[in-house]
């Protein structure tokens, strides 16, 4: 297994687990909450087949990475991403994030610039500012996040079950387009995260990225389902696209479009990456699914 050191808690080292597969221009895939780099399996195989070097890593607190009690703010998470780039000596990187992973992209670019970054893709973004305030009326009330933390503190395993029902909206579940086996795998992966990470990341969701997104000076693609129940598109993707980037909306798409609409997501990413990638054979046969609201 491959690991990158990112610091210490007390005297013990903290390490991030990563995978590095394929060859060609490097792509870093940054997962959402509360999963790991394994959540990108549908994208990884297509991007490798398209001729890219695909790097995934597990955020601190998740997957096979160290699970410290601290470091779940985006400045630290962006620094962790930077250590991956530095360790692997990457140039001309495309950053691809899902959900919480889009925050790392924005904060990394804001803090460290784009000298090593070619372009970025944000899937189901958390940007630009999720919290409802006087100057952000499209946001989500603080009470919602407080209730999440209360539920996690009471029983994070029960919270995980409820969370997945929103992650894949009810139509997907009712029609059987997300299998019980997939839900069970996601549950097991999610609850394997560190308890501190599972709770403290909720506070990171309400960080204000408006000052970060205006610093994005590389091509940006935004992909989001219009039935996203975790990060509503009217609070996130549509607002973000008015500031920077190009938005592709997936009708009926849940928050979990990297799985439920893998074909559409993969095609959009590969077309965005450029003609050399488009010329490669894609293996996915996932078709468009109608709105299930």
Catalytic residue ranges = 99, 228, 255
| Rounded Cα–Cα distance for residues 157 and 6 (Å) | 28
| Rounded Cα–Cα distance for residues 225 and 229 (Å) | 9
Exposure string over 146-160, b if 16+ CB within 10 A, otherwise e: eebeebbeeebeebb
The CB-side HSE value for 176 (13 A sphere, CA atoms) comes to 0
Q: Are the CB atoms for 40 and 56 separated by under 8 Å?
A: yes
| Rounded Cα–Cα distance for residues 25 and 50 (Å) | 10
- Reported residue count of the chain is 293
Beta-strand relationship, 117-123 and 53-57: unpaired
| Rounded Cα–Cα distance for residues 136 and 131 (Å) | 7
121: closest CA among 213, 254, 55, 220? 220
DSSP 28-88: EEE--TT--GGGGHHHHHHHHHTT-EEEEEPPTTSTTS---SS--SHHHHHHHHHHHHHHT
Q: Are the CB atoms for 52 and 27 separated by under 8 Å?
A: yes
């Amino acid at each position: 297994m491959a690991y990158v050191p990112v610091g210490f808690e007390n005297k013990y080292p903290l390490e991030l687990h990563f995978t590095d597969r394929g060859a060609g221009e490097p792509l870093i895939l940054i997962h959402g909450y509360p999963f790991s780099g394994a959540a990108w399996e549908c994208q990884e195989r297509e991007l490798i087949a398209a001729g890219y070097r695909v790097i995934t890593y597990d955020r601190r607190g998740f997957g096979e990475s160290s699970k410290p009690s601290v470091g779940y703010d985006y400045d630290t998470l962006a620094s962790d991403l930077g250590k991956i780039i530095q360790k692997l000596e990457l140039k001309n990187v495309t950053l691809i994030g899902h959900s919480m992973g889009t925050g790392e992209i924005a904060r990394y670019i804001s803090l460290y610039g784009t000298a090593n970054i070619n372009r970025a893709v944000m899937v189901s973004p958390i940007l630009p500012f999720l919290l409802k305030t006087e100057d952000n009326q499209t946001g989500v009330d603080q009470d919602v996040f407080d209730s999440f933390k209360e539920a996690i503190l009471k029983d994070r395993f029960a919270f995980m079950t409820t969370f997945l029902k929103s992650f894949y909206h009810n139509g997907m579940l009712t029609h059987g387009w997300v299998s019980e086996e997939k839900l069970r795998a996601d549950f097991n992966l999610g609850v394997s995260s560190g308890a501190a990470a599972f709770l403290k990341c909720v506070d990171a969701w309400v960080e204000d990225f408006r000052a970060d997104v205006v610093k994005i000076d590389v091509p940006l693609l935004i992909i989001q389902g219009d039935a996203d129940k975790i990060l509503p598109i009217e609070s996130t993707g549509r607002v973000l696209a008015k500031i920077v980037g190009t938005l592709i909306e997936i009708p009926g798409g849940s928050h979990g479009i990297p799985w439920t609409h893998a074909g559409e997501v993969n095609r959009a990413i590969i077309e965005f990456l450029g003609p050399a990638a488009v010329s490669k054979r894609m293996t996915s046969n996932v078709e468009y699914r109608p709105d299930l609201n």
